[in-house]
Amino acid sequence: MPSTRTPARFYSPLAIGAPEPLRQLPVRLERMIHFVPPHNAKIRARLAETIASVDVLLGNLEDAIPAEDKEAARRGFIEMAQQHDFGTTGLWVRINALNSPWALDDIIEIVSAVGSKLDVMMLPKVEGPWDIHYLDQLLAQLEAKHQIDRPILIHAILETAEGVSNVEEIAAASPRMHGMSLGPADLAASRGMKTTRVGGGHPDYGVLADAGSGGPRGFFQQDLWHYTVARMVDACVRNGIKPFYGPFGDFSDDAACESQFRNAFIMGCVGAWSLHPKQIAIAKRVFSPDPNEVAFAKRILEAMPDGTGAVMIDGKMQDDATWKQAKVIVDLARLVAAKDPGLASAYGI
Ligand code: GLV
Ligand code: MG
């Protein structure tokens, strides 16, 4: 049985009066998705400042919000969306899982009250395309009912064994898909992985050097998330949507957080979650390209104006493929430069 509609129908609105689905994602800088608990008055009081310092602000309604605060968090999110102007900062919400007692009211109340300000709805514990189809249909009905004129996008969290098995179908499920984040905590639990950490490595997961070499045997820690991130990046990029690393839970180890974010960035992810304000700066540092890389990439583009042929720069061979790699870096630098005047001058853009 086909899991998506035919090409002829793929971009038709799912409800009469709903906006046309997008054919391409809007170009936006999303280096960090900054999580806030919307019922927390202290955090709400500093929100204007937070909005100015992040690329995406997300009101979290799901895990980490106690059951007795779920409704206050939902109300708090609606108020914060109403009270602030977000400018170029994205406004996202993470709703509760579809099988929870709160998801339906999260969706209906938020879209009814602030649907025209909401950029993206993050859906946790996505198992397969059926979850996306359900939310897609419901959002179309609500957009039509409330005359919302631009589609609210869906971002899936990849955090169950079944979700990982269906990652391709999830990425291709709807033109409403924005992207995907790795959820290492739920995924570890779902798979029965033997780690209690939220992201990052595990000291016992590694490769032991061969015996018999004489001296002490080296042990090299490996990346637990490599396989899943790679599958997610391929599924997303193939469908023109964006892959993200998710949370890093050890706030006492900034170096490990930076290393996890950087692995994801190098593998193709465009951003990560910030759960603590200090992770905002880490994400900015990691997901903005290095000025030296940008300078080198600009030299490649300048040396090959039409993107074909082969040249040598500093003893390194460049051709059509490295020209494309250079363009990825320079395009990202332009996007960062438009938001960050300090980096604009470091990039010479
Ligand atoms: C995020 O939601 C995770 O489970 O890691
Ligand atoms: Mg989770």
Q: What is the tens place of the pLDDT at every residue in 159-191?
A: 999 999 999 999 999 999 999 999 999 999 999
Q: What does the DSSP assignment read for 263-325?
A: HHHHHT--BEEESSTHHHHHHHHHHSPPHHHHHHHHHHHHHSTTS-S-EEETTEEE-HHHHHH
How does strand 90-94 pair with strand 56-60?
parallel
Tens digit of each residue's pLDDT (9 = 90 or more) over 260-308: 999 999 999 999 999 999 999 999 999 999 999 999 999 999 999 999 9
Q: Is the CB of 200 under 6 A from ligand 1?
A: no
CA of 292 relative to ligand 2 center, distance in Å? 36
Tens digit of each residue's pLDDT (9 = 90 or more) over 82-107: 999 999 999 999 999 999 999 999 99
Q: Is the CB of 246 under 6 A from ligand 1?
A: yes
Residue 70 to residue 64: CA distance in whole angstroms: 10
Query: Where residue 214 falls among pLDDT bands split at 50, 70, 90?
Result: confident
CA of 62 relative to ligand 2 center, distance in Å? 8
Q: Which of 198, 228, 232 to mutate to test the pocket of ligand 1 (most atoms within 8 A of CB)?
A: 198
For 119, phi and psi rounded to 5 degrees? Answer: -85, -45
Residue 184 to residue 246: CA distance in whole angstroms: 7
Q: Is the CB of 119 under 6 A from ligand 1?
A: no
In the three-class reduction of DSSP (H, G, I as helix; E, B as strand; rest coil), residue 334 is classed as helix
Closest-CA residue, ligand 1 atom 1, reads 183
Q: Is the CB of 126 under 6 A from ligand 1?
A: no
In the three-class reduction of DSSP (H, G, I as helix; E, B as strand; rest coil), residue 113 is classed as helix
Residue 290 to residue 297: CA distance in whole angstroms: 11
CA of 344 relative to ligand 2 center, distance in Å? 35
Q: Is the CB of 62 under 6 A from ligand 1?
A: no
Q: Is the CB of 157 under 6 A from ligand 1?
A: yes
Q: Is the CB of 247 under 6 A from ligand 1?
A: yes
Tell me which of 71-75, 111-115, 280-284, 303-307 is least confident.
303-307
Length of the chain: 349
Which ligand 1 atom sits nearest the alpha carbon of residue 124?
Answer: 2
Q: Is the CB of 333 under 6 A from ligand 1?
A: no
